[in-house]
């Protein structure tokens, strides 16, 4: 380890926790991160759901190179016609269900959530939102107000609201959605809450209740989008079409990019009364859009969603067969998998042990008993075997100590 660099990392960069992982990264390729000391780490979390096509995918890098030689930022979002933006928007819309007709590009997932909340308030003239226990939608004020973990909301009150939190997956609770609610925001598979897959019955009941109450239904596909759950978008599992789909993370192929998609009539509210009432400088950055389009082509051409479904099933089957006493549940869909352990201490020690063994895993933010697995969708069978061996060995070690 370069001591100076590490010390300056702690000195000059604002920290997000007392104990960052602190790996010194030299480069990344495919499923691997290579540290400055030469040690290789299998990235079994894809930089938290971003590197769906693997790190430094050559087609994505070539697109970035081509775009960077033409222009970078030239104007705030929405004024000039930028072919990278238009092409990505067209491709995305054609891959989404009918009714989702336009995209508003942002720079991040939280910014896209904010835009979708503002659209819902302006369209409905209502102020309240509904979100779910365990939810995570980002850390800006509006997105944080939706967070399903009171401990993260508490230091920042008062947050925009009112926001009513309901238990995730419980049909009876949906009765609380009434005609004061502008929108219901939900992750179609809840990730940071500990990896929970709702039933199709729940998702249909939610759609029906929102339509009956005149509340918009917003799917946060920031983490679940782009093949992660074994479908290009998780909404395909349920046959439910929301009013707004929010995306980010893998959307930019490794560069910062977010967006929210809806019907033309819904998104039109952002363009008038007043015009320019919701704008962004870097939203839909041409470099990010060029990278995102190349990444999307890779996902579609290489059928990465189907691949995620197959590999995910194998991993879940393997973990369930372990019958390890420390594991209380294995949940997931595609390559978004949670291993629930007996206590948070085991989770932390397992994640640390796996990293020592060269496999990066972490726990979910709102449920510290769950270790999350979310490798690149391009991961090879040999790499999966390597990871499963390391996880199994590490489990044995932490359970014994
Ligand atoms: C489901 C979900 N929504 C929103 C966000 C926020 O995205 P960003 O970190 O790009 O603001 C995240 C980030 O982890 C997320 O997992």
The confidence score (pLDDT) of residue 136 equals 98
Helix (H, G, I), strand (E, B) or coil at 333: strand
Mutate to test the pocket of ligand 1, among 249, 258, 283, 364 (most ligand atoms within 8 A of CB): 249
> 1 pLDDT exceeds 80?
no
- pLDDT of the residue at 100: 98
For residue 72, the CA-to-ligand 1 centroid distance in Å is: 25
In which band, very low, low, confident or very high, does the pLDDT at 400 lie, cut at 50, 70 and 90? confident
Q: pLDDT tens digits, residue range 147-191? A: 999 999 999 999 999 999 999 999 999 999 999 999 999 999 999
- Note the pLDDT of residue 82: 98
Determine whether the shortest distance from the Cβ of 138 to ligand 1 is under 6 A. yes
Give the mutation target among 52, 108, 109, 139 for probing the ligand 1 site: most ligand atoms within 8 A of CB.
Answer: 109
Q: 3-56+303-400 adopts what CATH topology?
A: 3.90.1150
State the average pLDDT over residues 98-110. Answer: 98
Number of H helices, E strands in the chain: 13, 15
The per-residue pLDDT for range 21-32, each reduced to its tens digit, is: 999 999 999 999
The pLDDT tens digits for 213-236 are 999 999 999 999 999 999 999 999
Span 185-201, average pLDDT: 98
Residue carrying the six token digits 């290579």: 34
Sheet containing strand 362-364, strands side by side = 327-333, 336-341, 367-373, 362-364
Q: Domain map of the chain by residue range? A: 3-56+303-400, 58-301
Ligand 1 geometric centre to CA of 136 (Å): 7
Q: Is the CB of 220 under 6 A from ligand 1?
A: yes
Q: How far is the C-alpha of 289 from the C-alpha of 252, rounded, in Å?
A: 6
Q: Is the pLDDT of residue 2 over 90?
A: no
221 in contact with ligand 1, CB cutoff 6 A: no
187 lines ligand 1 (CB under 6 A): yes
Q: Tell me, what DSSP letter sits at residue 196?
A: B
Percent of the chain at pLDDT exceeding 70 = 100
Q: How far apart are CA 19 and CA 351, in angstroms?
A: 13
Range 58-301: architecture per CATH: 3-Layer(aba) Sandwich (3.40)
Nearest-atom index, ligand 1, CA of 138 = 6
């Amino acid at each position: 380890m370069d001591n100076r660099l590490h010390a300056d990392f702690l000195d000059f960069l604002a920290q997000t926790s007392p104990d960052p992982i602190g790996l010194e990264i030299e480069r990344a390729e495919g499923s691997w991160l290579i540290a400055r000391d030469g040690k290789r780490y299998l990235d079994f979390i894809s930089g938290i759901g971003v590197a769906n096509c693997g790190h430094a995918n050559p087609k994505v890098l070539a697109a970035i190179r081509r775009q960077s030689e033409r222009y970078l930022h030239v104007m705030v979002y929405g004024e000039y016609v930028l072919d990278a933006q238009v092409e990505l928007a067209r491709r995305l819309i054609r891959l989404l269900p009918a009714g989702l007709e336009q995209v508003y590009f942002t720079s991040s997932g939280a910014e896209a959530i904010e835009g979708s909340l503002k659209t819902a308030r302006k369209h409905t003239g209502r102020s309240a939102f509904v979100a779910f226990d365990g939810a995570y939608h980002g850390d800006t004020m509006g997105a944080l107000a939706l967070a399903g973990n009171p401990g993260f909301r508490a230091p920042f009150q008062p947050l925009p609201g009112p926001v009513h939190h309901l238990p995730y997956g419980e049909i009876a609770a949906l009765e609380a959605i009434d005609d004061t609610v502008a929108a219901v925001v939900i992750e179609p598979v809840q990730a940071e809450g500990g990896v929970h897959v709702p039933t199709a019955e729940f998702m249909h009941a939610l759609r029906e209740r929102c339509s009956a109450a005149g509340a918009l239904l917003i799917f946060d596909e920031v983490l679940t989008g782009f093949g992660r759950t074994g479908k290009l978008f998780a909404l395909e599992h349920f046959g439910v079409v929301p009013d707004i789909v929010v995306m980010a993370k893998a959307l930019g192929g490794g560069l910062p990019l977010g967006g929210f998609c809806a019907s033309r009539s819904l998104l039109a509210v952002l363009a008038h009364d007043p015009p320019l009432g919701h704008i962004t400088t870097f939203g839909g950055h041409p470099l990010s859009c060029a990278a995102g389009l190349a990444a999307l082509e890779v996902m579609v051409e290489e059928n990465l969603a189907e691949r995620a479904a197959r590999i995910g099933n194998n991993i879940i089957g393997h973990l369930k067969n372990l019958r390890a006493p420390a594991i209380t549940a294995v949940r997931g869909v595609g390559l978004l998998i949670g291993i629930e352990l007996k206590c948070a201490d085991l989770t932390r020690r397992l994640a640390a042990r796996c990293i020592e063994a060269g496999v990066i895993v972490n726990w979910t933010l709102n449920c510290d008993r769950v270790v999350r697995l979310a490798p690149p969708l391009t991961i090879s069978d040999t790499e999966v075997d390597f990871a499963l061996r390391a996880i199994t060995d590490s489990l044995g070690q932490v359970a014994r100590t």
